[in-house]
Each structure stands twice: as structure tokens, then as C-alpha cells.
């Protein structure tokens, strides 16, 4: 056992058992020097596992959600798969004398570890030198990893596997995570950091890496797993690398190859973990990496500044001494984070949808979400009660993101999602759109569903299919179902089915020659009062709009919207009389913006909400003349607004959540907002007017805080 005080490693005894996290809110017992659980915090029911490739990945691409998890008091574990050793020179490549610096990879790895530890300690305690315990432990027999536990908050842990990194962003290299994943090498070695309790190298096979990550999941039973992006967008111009072995050939993308491979290993570990018995269901979020540098800023200035403050600690920007001669941070990052476009963004690969809550014919609401890679369904125990049943399975496997639930005219529900097919002998690694239709009702009244049907992909090539986006669907006046997705080229593809017939082939929506389209994911679709189908999607500069001429016709490019840039996901609803309303966020400010289109006219911005920070898709509903909004704020809470014809003030109370809120109307026509918590439980709030008290308090699905709702 080693004990860490600041950055120096010294021999120690009597440390906390680091391979077991303690209850949140642990307090020190002065008589024993150990930590004991605080009863007031022992009820925290969520836990987090973050899986990444390099020591700074979570700080750049998962924050501010990483810090919110660490500060929640819940167990928060970060697994760093590679050492990130680069060339071993802890300096900017353009700094004077760089080429003459010695290559000290073990020392540079230790400096990066120190930087992550200091940034994590600062997020958890406010003290970058808050001490850690350090030890070696085994995830799988015969292999050792370095494990660090924050003494002041022992539910916060870091695990370092120390596999060698690719050392280049995209050029094929067999000795890398990607090479191991693709089978270009049978094993991948580790690199021993300076002063590590792990004293030798290890050779991991592909399966042993998967088993190691599975062991972390089994130990910590996370309710939320966070990974890097398994599906980054391709480079417009593909680089050529001479002499590349065929097994390493492939599409070059807007991300580091270690990022993508780490996400694929995480997916394989999750599939293996879900196939075994475990105590708690798991939700998964994946984060866009280097690609965010090409996209509008999704974080407001205050959130970005705080994120940079944490990155500067990691980057050893102030040069303070942490007590370790190997270094106190990553000088390749240094103080450059303020100039790096990765710092002002957080983007989930799955953009979410608000259409996952639907009314059943008996007036109760049903909610649908993905846990353990499978669809789950909750129903209200009684119409308008706000009390939800336990979830019941609705099938599927390796589903991703949020389910879209489409309600048909007969009251039945159809679900849409995306699933990843992991590679296996004779099976290509690919993504496909899938759907399941309601076949009946279970004894408790929840809908039952038939088998999940693959709708394939608009991309026949498996590697190109990995970039296909998340589906949105709508039912026309004649009952025809239309489903739309972002395709590999950045356009919109669609297919349809009428009645019980066959699906049409995938086709691409047209574009105007003078208005090329390369959209971000996060499109939306809705039917207006005249039966016309509207599709909207954003690129880095504006919003694009397609509209059908009438019921039963294909959406065609509409006139240029002339709307400003949005930070990605859009939400579209119909207005009375054939108009449409759109909710989006402005870059840099994160303000929620409302844009309207009259029945036969153009688009214009009509209002915006009060600033609350946040990012991601905004849920929007129009209940008569009342405009209802649900959006994330800068603390990660879901906030609500209801106003007469425009956004009202935001209600002060908020609730932590993941994904996008769902909005539906109950049997009395009142708007109901539903969120999925970090612990896999639902919470809901019901509308009762407009203004700052427009909604009831948030009610957890276990029935707590019911009195106010029952009184209303």
C-alpha cells in the first residue's frame, strides 16, 4: 500500500480499503482514522463509472457532468485505459528546445496521472492537494492496475490500466487499442509509470481488456456509465497511409483513434456485463470528442471558464509544486485550454428526444427508456396520479440513446431506437435502426411489444453505418409511419410504411443546389394542423427545413429559414392553424430560443427564455396558448417554464436527470413533464398554470412528495 500526500509517493499503512468504495458522505472517525458512512447520505442510490482513453479525456469531453457526479456524493469511478505517454516530453511541441528534451515516458505518464488526480481532488473537495491512497490491485487474475482513492471522499476513485497509447491521432498502428480491437495484434503491452506500485508490464489480449472493464462494472454496479464517442464523424478528405495492413484500413474520423477504440471496448464490456446477473440497471451516455471543435459552442461563458479552471490544474498551468519530481501535470495541455474549442462544448452522441412519454387509451401515461441496453416501460398506477409502476421489459438488446415512442390513432404505441451490432465471426460491426410495435397489454396495463424489427440503415457499408444518427418518427393523417435519420453524408434519409405493408426503401431528402446540407444530429419531425410533415435539422451555421406539400407527399426543401446557428438538437411542435414552433439553444449563451413559422410564411425568432445555462435538447410543448419548456440548467438540473404564448419564468426547483425530458398531456389536458434520474428512477411534475409556480413539485416514482399533487 502506498499513501499519497500531494504528488509524492511514500510508504504508508492503515489506509482505507481502496478497492471498495464507502457510502457517500463518509466521515472520518478520529479514534480509528477510518471513514464511516453518514446515515444522512447513505440513501444516495446512483453511482457512476467513466471509461476513457487518456487522462484528460473526461475533463475535456465529459465536464461539467463529470464534476456534477463527483460532487453529488455518489460513488464516481474513472477508468483510464492508456498511459497517454506520447513522446515522453512534458512540454508543448512548439516550445524552445523541445527537440532536445529527453523522452521520459514513465515520468510523463506519472505527471498526467498527477494532473488528473489534482483536478479530481479540486472538483471533489476544493483542494487540489487533498491526499489519496495508492495501491495496486487486480481486475482480473494475473494482471495488476494502479488504483487511487481520495481520502477525503473515498467514493471517488481512479483506475489506471496503463496500456500503451497509439501515440498518433489517426495513422494506423497495430500496437494500439484500435489494433487490439481489430485483431492487428494479439496482445497489447502496458507501460509502467514512474513510482508506480505496479512494478512490471503486462500483455493484454482483446478479451482480457473486455474482462477487466467488466470487472469494474461488476464491482461498482453503476447506474450510469459514461464513455467517449463510439461513432465519430468521418473526415471530408480521407488521408492516405502507405503500407497499411488490410486489417487496419478504414475510415478516418474527427477523433483520436484511442477515443473511439476505448468506447468500443466499453460497449463490449457492457454487453458482457448485461448478460450476467447484476443488481442495478445501467444507463449509458457517450460524449463527442475532438469533433466538437468544428461545432458551435454549447456551453455558456461561466461554465466554460469553470471548466478551464479545472483543466488548468490538470495542465499544471501555474507551475506549483506538488512534491513529485516526475511533474505535477500535463504541460502539453498547459494553459492552452482557454484557446481550445474542446473546452466550450459538451455534446452527447445520442441527442435524445422528448417523445418518450405517451398517453394510453385509459388515460394513464406510459414512459419508455433504455436501461441495460433494453427498452423499459413505466405506467402511471392511476390516471393523473403521478405515481409510476416499476419498469417492465419491452425487449431489445444493445439499444442506445433515448427511445422515441410514437402513438397511433388507435392508441397503440410503436418504439424506435438504434442498436449496435458488435463484431463477431461472420458478423460485421455496424449500427441499425430498429422498431417494435405494441401487440397487446400486460396484466398491469403496460403495453406489450412484439420482437424488435431491424429497419437496417441508409448505409449498406457497415463502417459507414456507424455514423447513422438517431431516429425520429411521425404518423401522417392517413396512418403512414415515416422515420427519419441523419445519414453518413450529413443529409437526412427516410423510409415509410403504410398500414401493415412493407417498409419502403431508404431514400434521401432532397436539397437545393445553392444550399448544401451537412447537418449535425438532433433533427426533429412533426405534423402540422394541415397534415403536412415538417423536418428540421441544424448545421454549424443555420437551421434547415423540409416540408411536404400536403398529406401523403414527400417533404421537400422549404425556403431558407434564415435562423441563426443552434447548438445542435432541435425540437419542433405544431401551432394552431398550421404554424410550427421550434425550440433551440444559442451558441455561447445557451439561451433557449423560440422560433415560429406561420402557416404559409417564413421563420423568425419570436422570443427567448431567461438565461439558466445548460446545454442539450430542450423539450417543448404547446398546450392551447401555454408554451411549456423543460431544459437543463448550469447545475445539471431539469428546470421548467410555462408562459402564455411565449416562455415564462423558469421555476426555481430542479431535479438532476439524464437525457431529455418527456412532455405529454394527462387525461385532464394538463402538461406533465417526466425525467429519468441518474438512479434509473422516474420523476414527474404536473402543470397547474403559468408563472413561477406553474408546476407541482417534482415527485419521485416511489410516491414521495405526493400530498401537493393529490391536493391539486
Range of the domain at 400: 350-470
Which whole number is the average pLDDT over 652-661? 94
pLDDT, residue 44, reads: 64
pLDDT in tens, 199-210: 999 999 999 999
147 and 107 within one domain? yes
Which whole number is the average pLDDT over 523-529? 97
Which whole number is the average pLDDT over 676-685? 95
441 and 320 within one domain? no
- DSSP letter for 328, please: S
CB-CB contact of 217 with 270 (8 Å): yes
Q: What percentage of the chain has pLDDT greater than the value 90? A: 85
Cell 428512477 locates to 681
pLDDT, residue 397, reads: 96
Q: What percentage of the chain has pLDDT greater than the value 70? A: 92
The cell numbers describing 620, all together, are 417543448
The cell numbers describing 465, all together, are 453505418
Domain membership of residue 633 (yes or no) is no
pLDDT, residue 700, reads: 82
CA diameter of the chain: 77
CA dihedral 3, 7, 8, 10 (to 10 degrees): 0
Rounded CA-CA distance 357/337 in Å is 40
Query: Which 3 state secondary structure label does DSSP give 666?
Result: coil
391 and 322 within one domain? no
Domain membership of residue 14 (yes or no) is no
pLDDT in tens, 403-425: 999 999 999 999 999 999 999 99
pLDDT, residue 279, reads: 87
Quick check: 4 pLDDT over 60? no
Q: What is the pTM of this model?
A: 0.93
Quick check: 20 pLDDT over 60? no
Lowest mean pLDDT among 485-489, 603-607, 642-646: 642-646
418 and 300 within one domain? no
Greater confidence, 1 or 572? 572
pLDDT in tens, 109-152: 999 999 999 999 999 999 999 999 999 999 999 999 999 999 99
The domain that holds 449 is classified in CATH as 2.40.128
389 and 334 within one domain? no
- The backbone torsions φ and ψ at residue 474, rounded to the nearest 5 degrees and listed phi first, read -150, 150
Domain membership of residue 190 (yes or no) is yes
**Strand 132-137 vs strand 2-5: parallel, antiparallel, or unpaired?**
antiparallel
Number of Cβ within 10 Å of residue 698's Cβ equals 22
Contacts of 99 (CB under 8 A, 6+ apart): none
Lowest mean pLDDT among 3-17, 448-462, 494-508: 3-17
Which whole number is the average pLDDT over 497-513? 94
Residue 276 C-alpha from the chain's centroid: 24
372 and 321 within one domain? no
92 and 224 within one domain? yes
**Strand 76-82 vs strand 156-163: parallel, antiparallel, or unpaired?**
parallel
180 and 94 within one domain? yes
Quick check: 299 pLDDT over 90? yes
Closest CA to 447 of 515, 358, 521: 358
Domain membership of residue 676 (yes or no) is no
- Give the C-alpha distances (Å, rounded to integers) separating 270 from 109, 149, 265, 279: 27, 24, 9, 14
* Last residue in a domain, options 311, 344, 377: 344
How far from each other are the two terminal CA atoms of the chain, in whole angstroms? 58
**Strand 472-475 vs strand 145-150: parallel, antiparallel, or unpaired?**
unpaired
* Last residue in a domain, options 440, 470, 500: 470
Contacts of 340 (CB under 8 A, 6+ apart): 60, 293
Contacts of 564 (CB under 8 A, 6+ apart): 542, 586, 593, 605
The order of strands in the sheet holding 365-371 is 357-359, 365-371, 374-379, 392-393
pLDDT band at 701 (very low <50, low <70, confident <90, very high): confident
**Strand 76-82 vs strand 48-52: parallel, antiparallel, or unpaired?**
parallel
Per DSSP, the residues of 162-227 read EEPP-SSSSS--SSSHHHHHHTSSSEEEB-PPTT-S--S--EEEHHHHHHHHHHHHHHH--SEEEE
355 and 336 within one domain? no
Domain membership of residue 163 (yes or no) is yes
* Last residue in a domain, options 443, 470, 497: 470
Domain membership of residue 622 (yes or no) is no
Domain membership of residue 593 (yes or no) is no
Greater confidence, 491 or 669? 491
Which whole number is the average pLDDT over 162-186? 97
301 and 355 within one domain? no
CB-CB contact of 569 with 601 (8 Å): no
SS3 content of the chain, % helix, strand, coil (to 5): 15, 30, 50
Domain membership of residue 102 (yes or no) is yes
320 and 387 within one domain? no
pLDDT in tens, 194-247: 999 999 999 999 999 999 999 999 999 999 999 999 999 999 999 999 999 999
Residues forming beta bridges with residue 623, ordered by sequence position:
626
Query: Which 3 state secondary structure label does DSSP give 258?
Result: helix
Cell 413559422 locates to 597
CB-CB contact of 261 with 53 (8 Å): yes
Query: Which 3 state secondary structure label does DSSP give 293?
Result: helix
373 and 307 within one domain? no
CB-CB contact of 619 with 658 (8 Å): no
pLDDT, residue 73, reads: 96
The domain that holds 263 is classified in CATH as 3.40.50
The cell numbers describing 283, all together, are 444507463
Residue 452 C-alpha from the chain's centroid: 24
Q: What mean pLDDT value characterizes the chain?
A: 91
When divided into structural domains, the chain yields a total of: 2
Q: Which stretch of DSSP H or E encloses residue 405?
A: strand 399-407
Amino acid at each position: 500500500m502506498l499513501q499519497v500526500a500531494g504528488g509524492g509517493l511514500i510508504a504508508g499503512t492503515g489506509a482505507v480499503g481502496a478497492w471498495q468504495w464507502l457510502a457517500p458522505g463518509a466521515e472520518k472517525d478520529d479514534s480509528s482514522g477510518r471513514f464511516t458512512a453518514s446515515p444522512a447520505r447513505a440513501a444516495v442510490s446512483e453511482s457512476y463509472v467513466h471509461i476513457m482513453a487518456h487522462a484528460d479525456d473526461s475533463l475535456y469531453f465529459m465536464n461539467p457532468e463529470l464534476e456534477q457526479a463527483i460532487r453529488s456524493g455518489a460513488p464516481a469511478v474513472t477508468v483510464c485505459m492508456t498511459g497517454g505517454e506520447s513522446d515522453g516530453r512534458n512540454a508543448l511541441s512548439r516550445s524552445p528546445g523541445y527537440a532536445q528534451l529527453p523522452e521520459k515516458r514513465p515520468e510523463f505518464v506519472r505527471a498526467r496521472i498527477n494532473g488528473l488526480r489534482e483536478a479530481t481532488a479540486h472538483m471533489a473537495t476544493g483542494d487540489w492537494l487533498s491526499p489519496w491512497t495508492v495501491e495496486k490491485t487486480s481486475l482480473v487474475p494475473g494482471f495488476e492496475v494502479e488504483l487511487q482513492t481520495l481520502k477525503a471522499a473515498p467514493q471517488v476513485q481512479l483506475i489506471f490500466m496503463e496500456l500503451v497509447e497509439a501515440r498518433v491521432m489517426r495513422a494506423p498502428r497495430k500496437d494500439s487499442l484500435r489494433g487490439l480491437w481489430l485483431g492487428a495484434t494479439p496482445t497489447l503491452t502496458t507501460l509502467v509509470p514512474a513510482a508506480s506500485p505496479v512494478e512490471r508490464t503486462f500483455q493484454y489480449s482483446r478479451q482480457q481488456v473486455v474482462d477487466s472493464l467488466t470487472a469494474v462494472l461488476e464491482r461498482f454496479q453503476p447506474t450510469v456509465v459514461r464513455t467517449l464517442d463510439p461513432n465519430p464523424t468521418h473526415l471530408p478528405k480521407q488521408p492516405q497511409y502507405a503500407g497499411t495492413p488490410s486489417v487496419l484500413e478504414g475510415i478516418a474520423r474527427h477523433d483520436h483513434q484511442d477515443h473511439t477504440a476505448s468506447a468500443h471496448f466499453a460497449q463490449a464490456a457492457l454487453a458482457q456485463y448485461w448478460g450476467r446477473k447484476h443488481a442495478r440497471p445501467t444507463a449509458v451516455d457517450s460524449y463527442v470528442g475532438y469533433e466538437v471543435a468544428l461545432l458551435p459552442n454549447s456551453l455558456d461563458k461561466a461554465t466554460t471558464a469553470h471548466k478551464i479552471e479545472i483543466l488548468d490544474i490538470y495542465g499544471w498551468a501555474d507551475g506549483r509544486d506538488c512534491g513529485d519530481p516526475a511533474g505535477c501535470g500535463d504541460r502539453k495541455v498547459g494553459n492552452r485550454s482557454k484557446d481550445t474549442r474542446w473546452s466550450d462544448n459538451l455534446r452527447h452522441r445520442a441527442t435524445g428526444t422528448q417523445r418518450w412519454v405517451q398517453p394510453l387509451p385509459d388515460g394513464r401515461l406510459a414512459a419508455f427508456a433504455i436501461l441495460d441496453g433494453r427498452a423499459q416501460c413505466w405506467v402511471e398506477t392511476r390516471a393523473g396520479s403521478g405515481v409510476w409502476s416499476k419498469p417492465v421489459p419491452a425487449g431489445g438488446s444493445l439499444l442506445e440513446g433515448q427511445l422515441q415512442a410514437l402513438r397511433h390513432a388507435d392508441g397503440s404505441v410503436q418504439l424506435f431506437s438504434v442498436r449496435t451490432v458488435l463484431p463477431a465471426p461472420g458478423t460485421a460491426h455496424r449500427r441499425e435502426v430498429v422498431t417494435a410495435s405494441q401487440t397487446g397489454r400486460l396484466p398491469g396495463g403496460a403495453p406489450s411489444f412484439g420482437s424488435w424489427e431491424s429497419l437496417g440503415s441508409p448505409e449498406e457499408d457497415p463502417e459507414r453505418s456507424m455514423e447513422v444518427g438517431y431516429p425520429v418518427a411521425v404518423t401522417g393523417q392517413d396512418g403512414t409511419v415515416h422515420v427519419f435519420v441523419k445519414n453518413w453524408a450529413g443529409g437526412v434519409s427516410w423510409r415509410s410504411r403504410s398500414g401493415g405493408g412493407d417498409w419502403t426503401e431508404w431514400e434521401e431528402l432532397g436539397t437545393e443546389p445553392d444550399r448544401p446540407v451537412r447537418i449535425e444530429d438532433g433533427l426533429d419531425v412533426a405534423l402540422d394542423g394541415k397534415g403536412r410533415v415538417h423536418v428540421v435539422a441544424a448545421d454549424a451555421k443555420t437551421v434547415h427545413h423540409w416540408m411536404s406539400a400536403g398529406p401523403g407527399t414527400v417533404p421537400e426543401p422549404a425556403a431558407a429559414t434564415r435562423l441563426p446557428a443552434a447548438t445542435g438538437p432541435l425540437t419542433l411542435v405544431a401551432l394552431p392553424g398550421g404554424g410550427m414552433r421550434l425550440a433551440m439553444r444559442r451558441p455561447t449563451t445557451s439561451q433557449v430560443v423560440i422560433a415560429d413559422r406561420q402557416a404559409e410564411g417564413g421563420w423568425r425568432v419570436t422570443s427567448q427564455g431567461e438565461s439558466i445555462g445548460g446545454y442539450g435538447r430542450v423539450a417543448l410543448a404547446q398546450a392551447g396558448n401555454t408554451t411549456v419548456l423543460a431544459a437543463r440548467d448550469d447545475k445539471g438540473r431539469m428546470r421548467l417554464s410555462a408562459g402564455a404564448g411565449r416562455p415564462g419564468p423558469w421555476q426555481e426547483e430542479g431535479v438532476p436527470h439524464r437525457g431529455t425530458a418527456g412532455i405529454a398531456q394527462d387525461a385532464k389536458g394538463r402538461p406533465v413533464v417526466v425525467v429519468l434520474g441518474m438512479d434509473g428512477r422516474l420523476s414527474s411534475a404536473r402543470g397547474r398554470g403559468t408563472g413561477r409556480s406553474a408546476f407541482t413539485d417534482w415527485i419521485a416514482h416511489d410516491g414521495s412528495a405526493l400530498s401537493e399533487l393529490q391536493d391539486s
